[in-house]
Structure 1
Amino acid sequence: MSILVPMSSDAFTRYVESAIISYAQQNIKSGRWPVETAMTQSRVEHEKLLPQGLQTPDNYLFEIRGISGNSDFTVGTLWLAVIEKGGVRSAYIYNETFA
C-alpha cells in the first residue's frame, strides 16, 4: 500500500537539489539550454516557482510512502500546484519521481 504524506523540510532540501539537477539535464538534452548556464537557469526557475519553499502558496509537495508490515519508506515524490487561468482553477503536476 502507498500513501501521500506532506514533504518534510529535510526531504524538501534533498528533493529540490535533485530536481534542479534533473531539470538542468533535461533542458541540456533537449537543446533548450547550454551546458554552461543550465544549472543556474534551473536554480532560478525553481526559486521562482517555489519562492517560499514548502510554504509557497498553492504548491503542494508530498512524499509517496510505501507501507509494508510495520515499516514505511519513501518510494517517490509528487509536486503539484493549483493554477488559475481565466478564472478556472486546475491542478498541474510539476514533477513526480519514483525510486
Structure 2
Amino acid sequence: MRDFLQHLVEAGTSICTRNQASKWVKFVFRVTLRRHDLVAQVFSLNEPVKVPLLLSRNEFKRILLMAPSLKARVMLSLVYGRRMHAGEVDRRRVPALQTDYSRGF
C-alpha cells in the first residue's frame, strides 16, 4: 500500500486524488483487514494555501491610467486601498436606495 501511495506522489497526481486513495487504503485496513493499528499511519494532505499576488504602486498607477471613466478609477482605488481580491469585489452589491415618497422631493 505504501508503494502505491508513493507511486501516486511520483506520478504527480493532485493532492485531492492522493487523499481519495488514502481514504481507500484506510478503508481496506479498517474494514477488510481489520488492522486498526495501520489506519493511524495513513494520513491525508492539506491543500497548500496560495498567497495572492499584489500589485506594486507603479503597476497600479498604470492600471488607473487605463481606466475608462472616473467611476472606474474610484472603484479601482477603493479595491486597491482595501486590498480586496477579485472574488470579493464581485460579491459586493450596492444596496438599493430606499426613497420615502411621502416626504416629497
TM-score by length of 2: 0.26
- Structure with greater strand percent: 1
Instruction: Give the alignment's TM-score, normalised by structure 1.
Output: 0.27
Higher RCO, 1 vs 2 (CA within 8 Å, ≥6 residues apart): 1
> Which protein is bigger by CA-based radius of gyration?
2
